[in-house]
Chain A
Amino acid sequence: MPYPSSPAPGAPFRVVVTGVGIITSMGIGWRQNADGFREGRQALRPITLFDASSQRVQQAGEVIFDQPLPQTRLGRRQLARLDRASRLLIHAGAEAFTQSGWQATADAGSTIAEDIPIVLGTSAGAMAVGESYYRQKVETPGEAHTLPHKVVLYQPHTQAQFLADALGVQGPVTMISNACASGANAIGHAFRLIKTGRASRAIAGGYDALAQMVFAGFDSLQALSTTSPRPFDAQRDGLALGEGAAVFTLERYEDAVSRGANILAEVTGYGAATDLHHLTQPHPQGDAALISMTRACAEATVEPKQVQYINSHGTGTPLNDVAEGMAIQRWAGPHTPGIMVSSTKGAIGHLLGGAGAVEAAICVIALSEGFVPPNAPVSTPDPVCTFDLVCEPRQAQLDCVLTNSFGFGGANATLVLQHPTSRA
């Protein structure tokens, strides 16, 4: 957005979600994911993308591409160049765009006249492409064939450009790489652009594809579960990695109403903070998580007693779950026992830069369809679970939910999402 900008008359604006696209190992699209999360299915499977036989763990939330890419404006050459991460992103982006009804606007002309900002979060981008580049450079140092293509594709903004071209939009691209909070930061940033009047609508989301280097990295930290990921279990032993994407179309409430759009949810608050404790370990008391939750709820003007459900970061690592649980206790105080909490990472794995967006999408689905996605089964809940840990499928009419995302480097982000009728 150019600086300086004139103050927007009418700001602050209410910001609503009119489209959500999602792809995970649970399936492609809203329906498959909604059904899977409602039933509490686990979608982890043996890794086929690279040789994991030498590692301690051989399973992950690998996506099965059992549907062709949706029809978009990408040409044949671009389609041939898409890497795995871009395909994830375009699946999600096309679904959100179609759902939003913005597609009709785009079809009327060659492009959407208005610049639409694209804000995406990713941690690894096209890491698998970078790995391929490295191997070629080492094995055949003098050979340059296909390398320029790989260098361009490795840049995360190339994936955003694919998305823009696929949807026929143009606008500033912002790539946020705040590790595992990236997707939540991206949605939060787009929310602020609209709320303050700097943009009237935006496309936001997050994505990451499985890559050998990242998988080995988490294994090297002994963060991967060698049994089954079960966040908040007293005997939990780590996480599973996953891949996927979620994309949101966000716009002003007034605009959505005036064009008769189907409003799926309202984004009402966003909080971000930085944990200074350690590069990879959270503060034991969850200091930064407490700040991000408090800030998000202050912006949304909601009290802890109004928040019915928290989609927790809940990685299933010993340190994360205790720190997040402590933060929830400190934030909610006496209301803690009444708050439903679950982590969906036991079902699809940890999607890293895509996690925040995908988990926000799961929240929107839960708000829309009236259920709480259950946590993976636990044998004995960790003592920190003084909240209502939901481990079985549960129907619930939700009005106000919160999603937490915490990442390496101390990146903490929280989003507050509300049912469209809850603030009418």
Chain B
Amino acid sequence: MPPSSGSSATIHLTGWGAVSPAGWSATALADAVLADSPLPHTSERRVPEAPERMFRRVPPMPATPDWMKQPRLRRTTAAARHAVHAAVQALGESHLEAVRSSGRRIGTIFCTMSGCVQFSRRFYAEVLANPLLASPILFPETVYNAPASHVSSLLGSPEMNYTLVGDSAQFLAGLDLAAQWLDDGLVDACLVIAAEELDWISDEALLLFAPQAVSAEGAAAVLLEKGGTSPSTDSAITLRAVTEAFTYGQERDRPQAATAVRRALERHRAPGTVLCDGSNPQALASDGTRTRGDTTEQQLWQDWDAPSYGVRPVLGEGFAITSGWQTVLACELLQRGLASQAFISAVGLTQQAVGAVLQGPAPIPSQP
């Protein structure tokens, strides 16, 4: 269907899911963040000369669900498995068959920063050893959009499917794109997903910028629908706003971009608003100062006088999943009645700063 001009009908987040070092659910993620204690991590050197990397793995899956047993998913990367699990949680596992047979047009927007690094690293090692023996099983799964493809396949959805490569703020820009697709009538519902997987190649890259940082893996997913299009939108969480993606460059530095985000978010300030930000006081650089991005975000919200919650100190550096986890956390806080509105602030590692505002099912109290 050709797009119509943006009508900006109300858009709701009707489902969400997460895979993280806290476990295979959004509930586990929120419980861990609310406990406000960093999860245990592992330290390891791949060879004695290499830097010691610290990471938090996703715990083993309790049991393999039947829907994971289809042949397409047998040899997927960890990032793809994380992505499809978070997506199915967001849709509702019990609804999966109904989704597949409903004919609803479900779009997919997948966000990642590192992509499927495990297979990429393994495949390139094989190429260097002997290109004629490099495995054709590995190579197709190295492309950035492999996880997104598996999600569409699982849903049986031939609809729009984009993979967006970006930094830790990319998930919020993905929410904005989903809202565009819904506004324009291109899809009936849209999944926004982010996923990453651990590998020494990306973990050691992180240490170059933040020597005390702990890498993490997993996924986050939300399902967006227009108001009134399904029963689940009636008492759902509302996407009130996504700011512009303020890109860094010669014309705008990171602090300026961060300030622009805060200014845009503050227009929506109301009693009962909490902050889900991306700063990480524990990610200290080797000289004892905070890493560049964290300093910016820390300073941005230092005068915030309402409750705030951060996923990074508890879960670790999730790259493109980070703002996805923040979004899932905000959904959980709103659903549990711990807030009536949530600001999500994402001052990305290298590309952009973006913010979003989610509103809970309960009405926002009027300004005093």
Binding site for B on A (CB under 8 A): 1-8, 11-12, 54-56, 73, 111, 115, 122-123, 125, 130-131, 133-135, 137-138, 140-142, 144, 147-148, 151-152, 155-158, 161, 164-165, 168-179, 185, 189, 192, 195-198, 212-213, 216-222, 269, 272-276, 279-280, 287-288, 291, 295, 298-299, 407-411
Contacts and interface: CB of A to CB of B under 8 A. Distances in A.
B145 A411 contact: yes
Given A158-B350, A220-B134, A408-B140, A274 B247 contact: no
A272 B184 CA distance: 14
Given A177-B144, A196-B6, A170 B252 contact: yes
B252 A157 contact: no
**Interface magnitude class on chain B:** 35 or more
B158 A174 contact: no
Contacts of A410: 149, 152-153, 161
A195 B180 CA distance: 12
Given A157-B167, A178-B145, A220 B135 contact: yes
A130 B205 CA distance: 11
B205 A157 contact: no
A85 to B, nearest CB: 13
Contact of A279 (B121, B131, B141): B141
B247 A171 contact: yes
Nearest to B174: A174
A174 B170 CA distance: 9
A273 B247 contact: no
A148 B208 contact: yes
Given A6-B8, A141-B50, A175-B164, A274 B2 contact: no
Interface of B: 1-8, 11, 46-47, 49-51, 72, 108, 113, 120-121, 123-125, 127-128, 130-132, 134-136, 139-146, 148-150, 152-153, 156-167, 173, 175-177, 179-180, 184, 201, 204-205, 208-209, 239, 241-252, 264, 350-352
Contact of A115 (B121, B179, B244): B244
30 contacts: A3-B11, A55-B132, A122-B165, A123-B144, A125-B165, A131-B124, A134-B201, A137-B204, A141-B50, A147-B208, A157-B165, A158-B350, A165-B250, A170-B247, A173-B245, A177-B143, A178-B145, A192-B3, A195-B3, A213-B123, A272-B160, A274-B158, A276-B153, A298-B2, A299-B2, A408-B146, A409-B148, A409-B149, A410-B153, A410-B161
A218 B143 CA distance: 12
Contact of A219 (B131, B159, B162, B239): B131
Contact of B46 (A141, A195, A269): A141
Contacts of A157: 165-167, 350-352
A164 B250 CA distance: 9
B193 to A, nearest CB: 14
A220 B136 contact: yes
A175 B51 CA distance: 31
B184 A192 contact: yes
Nearest to B148: A409
A275 B3 contact: no
A195 B134 CA distance: 45
Interface of A is mostly: mixed
Given A2-B241, A141-B46, A213-B120, 17 more contacts: A1-B180, A3-B179, A7-B7, A144-B208, A164-B250, A176-B163, A177-B165, A178-B163, A192-B3, A198-B6, A217-B123, A219-B134, A220-B136, A273-B159, A274-B158, A276-B152, A279-B150
Nearest to B156: A276
A299 B131 CA distance: 45
A398 B130 CA distance: 48
B242 A11 contact: no
A273 B158 contact: yes
B3 A196 contact: yes
| Best-buried of A56, A135, A275 by chain B (most CB within 10 Å) | A275
A218 B134 CA distance: 10
| Best-buried of A134, A198, A409 by chain B (most CB within 10 Å) | A409
A222 B140 CA distance: 12
A170 B162 CA distance: 23
Contacts of B51: 142
Contacts of A134: 121, 124-125, 201
B210 to A, nearest CB: 11
The 7 closest A-B pairs by CB, nearest first: A409-B149, A11-B5, A217-B139, A177-B144, A4-B8, A299-B2, A142-B49
B220 to A, nearest CB: 19
B135 to A, nearest CB: 7
A244 B11 CA distance: 40
B67 to A, nearest CB: 15
Nearest to A186: B162
B167 A155 contact: yes
| Best-buried of B46, B49, B167, B250 by chain A (most CB within 10 Å) | B250
A175 B120 contact: no
A274 B157 contact: yes
Contact of A2 (B141, B162, B244): B244
Given A3-B179, A142-B50, A287-B158, A212 B8 contact: no
A228 B120 CA distance: 28
Contacts of B145: 177-179, 407-409, 411
Given A170-B252, A172-B245, A274-B149, A155 B350 contact: yes
Nearest to B239: A3
Given A173-B245, A280-B140, A2 B163 contact: no
B159 A274 contact: yes
Given A134-B121, A157-B167, A176-B163, A279 B149 contact: yes
